[in-house]
Amino acid sequence: MDNRAIGVFDSGLGGLTAVQALRRLLPDEDVVYFGDTGRVPYGTRSAETILRYALQDLRFLMAHSLKCVVVACGTVSSVALPQLQQAVQAPVLGVIDSTVRAAAAATRNGRVGVIGTNATIRSETFQRGLLAINPELLVPARACPLLVPLVEDGRFAPGATVTELLVQEYVAPLLAQDIDTLILGCTHYPLLTDIFRAACGPQVALIDPGHETVRDLRALLQETGGLREAGTPGTERYYVSDSAQNFLQHAGMFLGGPVQGEATRVDIENY
């Protein structure tokens, strides 16, 4: 039994799709979330800047009593995970390993598409992870830099014409390579699942990194006796580096339900 909270962070709101999975799969766990809403997006920045930001995010979270930290950001997981794991004693989980395992298991024809931010695709971390599991896989990849701003702007439901057109354009070269599995390699993208489903068709499996990571985390906590004592529902605390008011206005869409718990602004440059 371990009653300490699970820390989760992202460059902004995208990591809330992992919190949504935590609510579903580990409802008894306490969660402390940090979203770097003042500095989002990370995906257009250099690896050095992403590492510097991510270390600050991690240091802030570690000021709480945590049993582990989930890096609920494809970009940070791709670019900076080993350095984060070395920086603290607590286990730090990225989204890459669980996601590539799920994708490699899902594909039938060995063609797995990968999409993500510029930094994620440039790092080739997802692609290397897939090929480490099965060197025979074909792993076409494409950066989709315009999707995060559209999602943050609330344009993710079917009928958001600009988003629909962009998604069609982004996935077209991957579909032309006959992929049957697509890694939504940024935690913002699962909000676009309906639009991706329409663009890719029902035959393409869509892999959600937050969901896959939380599923593995649940198995890990079960195996190691690390679950929180059952009986009372878990609590949630939110921290952001920009307006808490703005966060509260938008977070519900990412969580798939109302924010439970307080949201507080922090000065992340102090960490």
Residue 116, strand partner residues: 143
- The residue annotated as part of the active site, out of 68, 73, 144, 200, is 73
CA–CA gap between residue 10 and residue 53 (Å, rounded): 10
CB 73 to ligand DGL: min, Å: 4
Q: For the segment 71-90, give every residue that binds ligand DGL (CB under 6 A).
A: 73-75
Q: Quickly tell me which residue has 């997006």 as its tokens.
A: 41
- Beta-carbon contacts of 56 under 8 Å, excluding residues fewer than 6 positions away, are 268, 269, 271
Query: What are the distances in angstroms from CA 220 to CA 21, 29, 122?
Result: 15, 14, 30
Six-digit token string for 261: 């718990």
From the list 34-42, 81-89, 103-111, 248-256, the region that binds ligand DGL by CB under 6 A is 34-42
144 classed as catalytic: no
In the set 117, 127, 181, 213, which binds ligand DGL (CB under 6 A)? 117
**Cβ atoms of residues 210 and 23 within 8 Å:** no
Residue 121 found at the interface with ligand DGL (CB under 6 A): no
- What residue type is assigned to position 157 of the chain? A
Rank residues 77 and 107 by Cβ distance to ligand DGL and give the closer one.
Answer: 77
- With CB under 6 A as the contact rule, the residue among 22, 23, 33, 43 that binds ligand DGL is 43
Task: Based on the residue annotation, tell me whether 73 is a catalytic residue of this protein.
Answer: yes
- Kindly state the smallest distance separating residue 36's Cβ from ligand DGL, in Å: 8
Tokens 């008011």 belong to residue: 245
186 forms part of the interface with ligand DGL (CB under 6 A): yes
Structure tokens of 29? 């766990």
| Interacting residues toward ligand DGL by CB under 6 A | 10-12, 14, 40-43, 73-75, 116-117, 120, 148, 186-188
Q: Which residues are catalytic?
A: 73, 186
